[in-house]
Structure 1
Amino acid sequence: MRTNRLRTVHPVLWAGWAAVAAGAVLCVVGWYGVSGERFAERQLPYLASCTIPGVALIVSGAVLLAHGRGSIAAARVEELYGLLVTAEPADGDETGRAALAPLAVSGELLMVPGGTLWHRADCPLVAGRAEAVAVDSGLVASGELSPCPICEPAEETG
Structure 2
Amino acid sequence: MPTSRILLWSGLAALAGGAVLCALGWYGISGERFAERQLPYLASCTVPGAALIVAGAVFVVAGAVLPGPPRERRRPTAPEEDPAPSSDGPLLRVPGGTLAHRPDCPLVADKPEAVAVGGASLAPCPVCEPWPP
TM, length-normalised to structure 1: 0.45
Question: Hey, what's the Cα distance between the residues in 2 that align with 1:75 and 1:27?
Answer: 32
Residues 1:46 and 2:41 aligned together: yes
Cα pair 2:29 2:38 within 8 Å, conserved: yes
Pairwise CA distance, 1:60: 0.3
Residues 1:35 and 2:30 aligned together: yes
Larger RCO of the pair (alpha carbons < 8 Å, separation 6+): 2
1:14 alignment partner in structure 2: 9
Indicate the RMSD between aligned Cα atoms, in angstroms.
2.2
Question: Hey, what's the Cα distance between the residues in 2 that align with 1:75 and 1:11?
Answer: 11
Paired residue for 1:94, among 72, 79, 87? Answer: 79
Identity %: 54
Residues 1:75 and 2:68 aligned together: yes
Structure of larger gyration radius: 2
TM, length-normalised to structure 2: 0.52
**Equivalent pairs, count:** 80
* Structure with higher helix content: 1
Unaligned 5+ segments in structure 2 are 81-133
